[in-house]
Amino acid sequence: MLGIKHPIVQGGMMWVGTADMASAVSNAGGLGIITALTCPSPDALRAEIERCRALTDKPFGVNLTLLPSLNPPPYAEYRRAIIESGIKIVETAGHNPREHVEDFKSHGITVLHKCTAVRHALSAERMGADIISIDGFECAGHPGEDDIPGLILIPAAADKVRVPLLASGGFGDGRGLAAALALGAEGINMGTRFCATVEAPIHPDIKRMLVEGDERGTDLIFRTYRNTARVAKNTISQAVREAESRGEPFETIAPLVKGARGREGLSTGDTAHGVITAGLVMGIIHDIPTCEQLISRIVSEAETIIQHRLARLVAQ
């Protein structure tokens, strides 16, 4: 459906989903994705799409995430830039995507919609989404408010969703790909794992943090605001949790968690400067390969597991 060699998609990642990241994943046989809102304007997105085309002749997509904001970006203008740039694959995520999904579909665009609940997946399917990326509680970013891990959420979605599924949240090696296929998905969507690659456009110290961390190295913030986010544990995330425990309003912590501050941390390598989105998959990140090395290894590991280890367990 996507014209890619391997069933591995690089999800949209704020400040990380640039042309450099997307083209590296696409050139390695996966589906790279530019994050629209990483670009400061719709015209900047148009330029980033063209830059990606200069870096790869393979399929790539664009992510458009719709989240609550004190000052929402001009989503319709970003959508128009995507359409007018001739993009054929879009990943949508977040709240109320109907108008965007319908417009993309009317222009012949394949829509992947990322969601964190079966009921949302079914709603997106009714809207016309071609592929559902089902995002478990292990994921980086926004896991929703139901707290259902992938081991349950993926097969629960597979039981009801008729379009193809991508498994998202907690994937980073061939074991995860083989497991996702066994649970009913057609492939995997990875974010945090791609941050710890040579081509990821973030500071080496942030990448080392992901390697040195473990499965206990994240915090859930914004729970009291019903907009839960999983981020790397640092002094900022801890300060946010403490403020929430005191019942303070979002406006109190807004200066700590603003996007510009997080972007500065990613570029300078200061792991305590702002919030850093990261998932539980940190527990199985042990190196910083190229995207080509990572994807090839994941596929090879999954094939070995399926063809050899699992096959030996079946009675002949």
CATH of 8-201, one of 3.20.20.70, 3.30.360.10, 1.10.10.10, 3.60.21.10: 3.20.20.70
Q: Are 239 and 253 in contact (CB under 8 A)?
A: yes
Q: Scan for tokens 């970003």, then name that residue.
A: 78
Kindly report, residue by residue over 2-59, the tens digit of the pLDDT: 999 999 999 999 999 999 999 999 999 999 999 999 999 999 999 999 999 999 999 9
| Residue-range domain boundaries for the chain | 8-201
Kindly report, residue by residue over 196-217, the tens digit of the pLDDT: 999 999 999 999 999 999 999 9
* Alpha-carbon gap, residue 186 to 188, rounded angstroms: 7
**How wide is the angle at C-alpha 165 spanned by C-alphas 170 and 62, nearest 5°?**
80
pLDDT at position 50 is 98
Q: Scan for tokens 């964190």, then name that residue.
A: 116
Cβ neighbours of 226 (radius 10 Å): 9
Kindly report, residue by residue over 134-190, the tens digit of the pLDDT: 999 999 999 999 999 999 999 999 999 999 999 999 999 999 999 999 999 999 999
Q: Is the pLDDT of residue 69 over 80?
A: no
Lookup: tokens for 80? 């128009």
Kindly report, residue by residue over 87-119, the tens digit of the pLDDT: 999 999 998 899 999 999 999 999 999 999 999
Q: Is the pLDDT of residue 316 over 70?
A: no
Amino acid sitting at position 91: E
